[in-house]
Structure 1
Amino acid sequence: MKNLQQMMKQAQQAQAKMAEMQKEMEQMEVAGESGGGAVKVVLTGKGEARKIDIDKSIIDPDDKEMLEDLLVAAINQARGKAEQEMQTRMQDFAKQMGLPPGMNLPF
């Protein structure tokens, strides 16, 4: 009976820790840039855009496609950083919970 109670307590602790981690990811900001820093974006850890900064010198009405490509590259870089941070945190979480290395958590 004690083992069951202990398992339930651990499950509740894990759930609380997971909720805390998700909240931290929502508040975390990650930056991405492209074009040698001419285009910069800031996203939350959940991938929501917070800021986009475009250097005036690269704005060319005749080359809209280049600006679009730079924006996509900067956004993808920031998203990659956010995903890497989430993966690192999930691995740490799994270690703390005593889960075997390489076990994929559903996030």
Structure 2
Amino acid sequence: MKDLMGMMKQAKAMQEKMQGLQEEIAGLEVVGQSGGGVVSVTLSGKGELTAIGIDPSLLKEGEKDILEDLVVAAHADAKGKLDLAIQERTQELTSGLQLPGGMKFPF
């Protein structure tokens, strides 16, 4: 019975940590860039696009395709940074857990 109570306490503590992690992730903000910084995209921790920055030198007639490609590349850069930040924070939280082989967290 003591083992069950201990497991319940650990589960409650993990749930509280996960809630804190979710709040921390929601507060994240990452910036992705492309074209040497002439285009930037900002994503929230929830993956929402919150800002786009475009250097005025790109606002020329006939360069629409280039600008579109740079926006897509900047978004991909930001998404990669966000995914990495979430993965790092999740690993910090779960580093002490004894999970079975092949099991990933969050499930």
Q: TM over 0.5: same fold?
A: yes
**Aligned twin of 2:78:** 78
What is residue 19 of structure 2 aligned with on the other side?
Answer: 19
> Which amino acid in the other structure matches residue 87 of structure 1?
Q
Q: What RMSD over aligned residues (CA atoms) do the two structures have, in Å?
A: 1.7
Question: How far does residue 6 in structure 1 lie from its aligned partner after superposition?
Answer: 0.8
Give the direction of change, closer, same or farther, for the CA distance of 1:38–1:101 in structure 2 (3 Å limit): farther
TM-score by length of 2: 0.89
Distance in 2, matches of 1:34 and 1:87, equals: 23
Q: Is the 8 A contact 1:94 1:100 kept in 2?
A: no
Deviations 1:5-52 (A, max 9, x none): 110111111111111101111111111101111001111122111211
TM-score, normalization by structure 1: 0.89
Greater percentage in helix: 1
Q: Secondary structure at 1:97's aligned position in 2?
A: coil
Cα separation, 2, equivalents of 1:2 and 1:50: 49
Q: List alignment gaps of at least 5 residues for structure 1.
A: none
